[in-house]
Amino acid sequence: MSRTLSLQVVLISSVAASFLHFAEGNFLEAAAPCPPLNFKCMNGNCISPVVFCNGKNECGDNSDEKFCKVEPSFRCPDDWTSCPNRRRCIPSHWMCDGRKHCPVVSEETICAKKSELMSWFLQRRNSGNKADRWGPQVNRIAVALHLANKNTFSPGNSTGEEIRYELAMQLTRRLAKDKKMSSEELALYIHALLVACMDPTDFYGDNLVQELRKRVEADESYTNPFLILVLCNAGDAMTNKDVERVSAAYDSQHRPFWTDTQALASMALYCITNRSGVEVDVRILRDYLQDLKKHRFPNGTVDNFRTTALVVQALFIYDSYQTEFNLELAMKVLMDGVNATKSILTAYYILPALHEKSLIDVSSSHCSKQPVEEDDALQKILVIDGETMTVHYSVWIGDEINVGRTWRLKISVKSTIYDAIETVAKIDNRQKVEYNVVKLKPYVAALNGKEDDPEMGMFWFVYLKPINSEEEPKVVEKSPADVKLEPNQEIILWYKRGSWNVQPEVKQDDKSSTVVF
């Protein structure tokens, strides 16, 4: 009898314990794996998100309440994200999951605006020429998309690959068409090259960072602080003179509506402070940031949407927004700006701010150490035994010399123009050339879908000129297969108006055809 009674007591106690455990845990699931939508307690238990931050210790270790009421200055731990009001941290994987987890301003509201603005950027792409789908501000689009999504230029991302290709073609065209593009435009391209994982210190032989530095040093009057920020982000050596330039730029901007320049100056000074050996009085930077807060209007705006976004970006420095600045209200202004703006420039500043990123975050640190696909192909193609030489190969379209792209090639000595053309075609199959064969000699007749067009008077011509020379290119009258190259020559395939009368005279019994080699 005593054994039976003992067994009954044990069973009843076990059932009671299980019931109490369920009642007190309120959806507590200790043994089963925790679904992504649920909250995994620090002790391994799992609770429903419905009871997260409900003021009760649902986990048993209070980890579900630990970050529910924090100060705006509190920095959320890794894998946690701050709510828009900065008063709560939530698991990062809960962001943009379609459910509200934050009080006052839902994180889903910002998610919707982020998604809306990202879609707006992606819709800037047109279906026209594949070399001109993103338009003249592709440099800003590249930076904004990267700061919003660090995977934009990851290998295999078709959008990133397309932007990278167009960026290279557009920049090459701009450099050839106008050697004196503004320093600000050059700086925008350097930023874009960094995020697109292309080296601005070696853009097909041109060191764009060095060129920008030369221009900054040559200007003794005023330096746009954006130029210093770009040089700093690109890893150029900073100097005390750069600090003086940035400080002078900040101090000179006391006119209304120039607050955006002061925000850029603050970001440039922060970059110098943290990424160089130059000593900077941090108190000056903190004063700058404090002064920026004074420009905010009661409705949260700082002058306009664009300037508000720039000031918010600057105030991410040292989390300066935490005192005497209503970040929640400023973010609401930016979200309203998403609906109001039709400007790429404004959207380019707002999108990173919504993702709590700034122009300080522009770098190439996200890039794979492995070369991008095209460069990898280039290296494989150009492994050459024996003596080599360097030549450039360019494609020009139209009488105004719109350059499609320039390649820097290392090829065997005694190579011909034809060899160089075929080498580029192996690297990039979009550059495959069709030839008109006369007397068994190939002459360029088509490239990338553009054919000799006698009705329009447009033909392909081959020219040669020394690299980096101001000399006029000279037309090549012989077949590309018959012209041996010399070191440091530039081969130019130019599609332009003109009469094609430089081919050898064709006898009636000659046969010609168009073939792809």
**CA-to-CA dists, residue 386 to 4, 375, 413, 490, angstroms:** 95, 22, 9, 22
Q: Determine the Cα–Cα distance for residues 257 and 139; give it in Å rounded to an integer.
A: 25
Q: Determine the Cα–Cα distance for residues 169 and 185; give it in Å rounded to an integer.
A: 15
Would you say 304 is a known binding-site residue?
Answer: yes
Q: Dump the DSSP string for 300-366.
A: S-BSBHHHHHHHHHHHTGGGGGGSS--HHHHHHHHHHHHHH---HHHHHHHHHHHTT--GGG--STT
Element spanning 409, H or E = strand 402-412
Q: What is the DSSP letter of 232?
A: H
Handedness of CA 114, 120, 124, 125 (dihedral sign): positive
Q: Determine the Cα–Cα distance for residues 134 and 193; give it in Å rounded to an integer.
A: 15
The residues near 237 (Cβ < 8 Å, ≥ 6 apart) are 276
Query: Residue type for 147, please?
Result: L
Would you say 260 is a known binding-site residue?
Answer: yes
Q: Determine the Cα–Cα distance for residues 302 and 435; give it in Å rounded to an integer.
A: 60
Element spanning 216, H or E = helix 208-218
CB environment 92-125: b (16+ within 10 A), e (fewer): eebbeeeeebbeebbbbebeebbeebbeebeeeb
Residue ranges of the annotated binding site are 260, 304
Residue ranges of the annotated binding site for cyanocob(III)alamin are 260, 304
